[in-house]
């Protein structure tokens, strides 16, 4: 989603849907002390072009999109992945939609794509900066950030730049509703939108990459070097992640079940009290995570897509 990995040429071009390899995570690596063995029993490993995936989102577990380098977009229909033609060759950094037939992907050089359920089309809204994150509450209330620290509001037709404090590059957006939206920055700041204006909620952390919460009073932000911040409804404070790697993506389905992904295959799981490292299935950097109920999708470097 944010902080794009090096854009490299496609290394392999195997046919999509060649096969599925199931394997036990416990057999992948020897666990170091303190690493949780509470891991999914099986992971699906599909084969496709080895692009670097940056973001993942779905309207349901039967309609999931993964985006990455060279304009590469895969769509999952519940049983198999298929490449969909994007019409661009730039790195795509993030994807989000209000419905399965109203999906947006963003990327380098101001790229904004729209999916109508059948095809992707390029929307020319006059943007030129690399776009980092996209998120919204409805089809006409969408927020987009760029690499220069700008925030845009998109109503599905028109784009307008929003007034926002100068806190550096904005790397992620997430919220609980139209009047309670958050963004995190490369300067370690956390912004909040109340439906009318953006304000600095907290600052002084290490560079932050992602934000998510189970409610307005239980928020987590993640960043460089294992940085973890927590909001309890009153104030933000540092939290213990038990990791020392960059933490790029976060997603959860309740106050007692959340996951974080990061560099060199890092996966953390939250049980409502603490974060524990899970056994890894890869040494690639993991950049995006999305899920629904008990099914989770993780994407990352060199074509990494895992489902558990």
Identify whether 165 is part of a domain.
yes
- pLDDT for res 281: 86
Does the CA dihedral 208-100-22-253 come out positive or negative?
positive
**Which of the four pLDDT bands, split at 50, 70 and 90, describes residue 308?**
confident
The CATH code of the domain that includes 180 is 2.130.10.10
| CA–CA separation, 45 and 272 (whole Å) | 29
| CA–CA separation, 293 and 287 (whole Å) | 20
- What stretch of H or E contains 185? strand 180-185
Is 111 in contact with 122 (CB distance < 8 Å)? yes
pLDDT tens digits for range 12-31: 333 333 333 233 233 333 32
The domain in which residue 246 lies consists of 20-307
Identify whether 47 is part of a domain.
yes
| CA–CA separation, 103 and 295 (whole Å) | 20
Cα angle 227, 232, 233; round to 5: 130
**Higher pLDDT pick, 37 / 154:** 154
Identify whether 11 is part of a domain.
no
DSSP string of 36-79, one letter each residue:
B----S-EEEE------EEEEEEEETTEEEEEEGGG-EEEE-SS
Does the pTM surpass 0.85? The reply is: yes
Tell me the percentage of the chain whose pLDDT exceeds 90: 82
| CA–CA separation, 102 and 104 (whole Å) | 7
Residues 46-62, mean pLDDT to the nearest whole number: 87
pLDDT tens digits for range 232-259: 999 999 999 999 999 999 999 999 999 9
Tell me, rounded to whole angstroms, the distance of Cα 187 from its chain centroid.
19
Identify whether 176 is part of a domain.
yes
Residue 110 — φ and ψ, nearest 5°?
Answer: 70, 20
What are the beta bridge partners of residue 259? Answer: 251, 269
Is 188 in contact with 207 (CB distance < 8 Å)? yes
| CA–CA separation, 5 and 279 (whole Å) | 23
**Which of the four pLDDT bands, split at 50, 70 and 90, describes residue 280?**
confident
| CA–CA separation, 286 and 250 (whole Å) | 11
pLDDT tens digits for range 55-102: 999 999 999 999 999 999 999 999 999 999 999 999 999 999 999 999
Identify whether 1 is part of a domain.
no
Identify whether 302 is part of a domain.
yes
Identify whether 72 is part of a domain.
yes
Identify whether 7 is part of a domain.
no
Number of domains in the chain: 1
- pLDDT for res 46: 56
- pLDDT for res 58: 99
Q: Which of 91, 79, 74 has its CA nearest to residue 304?
A: 74
Residues 106-129, mean pLDDT to the nearest whole number: 97
What are the beta bridge partners of residue 159? Answer: 154
| CA–CA separation, 117 and 123 (whole Å) | 16
Question: Is residue 298 helix, strand or coil?
Answer: strand
Residue 151: CB atoms within 10 Å: 21
């Amino acid at each position: 989603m944010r902080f794009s990995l090096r854009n490299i040429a496609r290394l392999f071009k195997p046919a999509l849907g060649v096969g599925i390899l199931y394997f036990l995570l416990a057999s992948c690596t020897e666990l170091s002390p303190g690493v949780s063995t509470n891991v999914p029993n099986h992971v699906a490993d599909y084969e496709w072009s080895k692009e670097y995936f940056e973001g993942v989102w779905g309207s349901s577990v039967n309609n999931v999109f993964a985006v990455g380098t060279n304009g590469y977009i895969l769509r999952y229909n519940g049983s198999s992945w298929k490449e969909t033609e994007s019409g661009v060759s730039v790195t795509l950094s993030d994807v989000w939609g209000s419905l399965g037939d109203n999906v947006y992907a963003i990327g380098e050089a101001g790229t904004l794509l729209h999916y109508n359920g059948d095809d992707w089309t390029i929307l020319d809204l006059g943007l030129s900066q690399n776009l980092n994150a996209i998120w919204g509450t409805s089809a006409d209330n969408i927020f987009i950030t760029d690499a220069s620290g700008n925030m845009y509001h998109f109503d599905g037709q028109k784009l307008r730049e929003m007034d926002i404090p100068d806190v550096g590059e904005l790397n992620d957006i997430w919220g609980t509703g139209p009047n309670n939206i958050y963004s995190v920055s490369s300067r370690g700041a956390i912004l909040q939108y109340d439906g009318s204006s953006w304000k600095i909620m907290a600052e002084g952390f290490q560079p932050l990459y992602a934000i998510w919460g189970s409610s307005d009073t239980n928020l987590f932000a993640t960043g460089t070097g294992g940085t973890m911040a927590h909001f309890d409804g009153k104030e933000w404070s540092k939290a213990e992640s038990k990791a020392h790697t960059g933490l790029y993506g976060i997603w959860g389905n309740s106050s007692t079940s959340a996951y974080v992904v990061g560099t060199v295959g890092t996966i953390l799981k939250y049980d409502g009290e603490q974060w524990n490292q899970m056994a890894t299935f890869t040494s690639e950097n993991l950049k995006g995570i999305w899920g629904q109920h008990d099914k989770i999708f993780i994407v990352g470097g060199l074509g990494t897509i895992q489902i558990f």
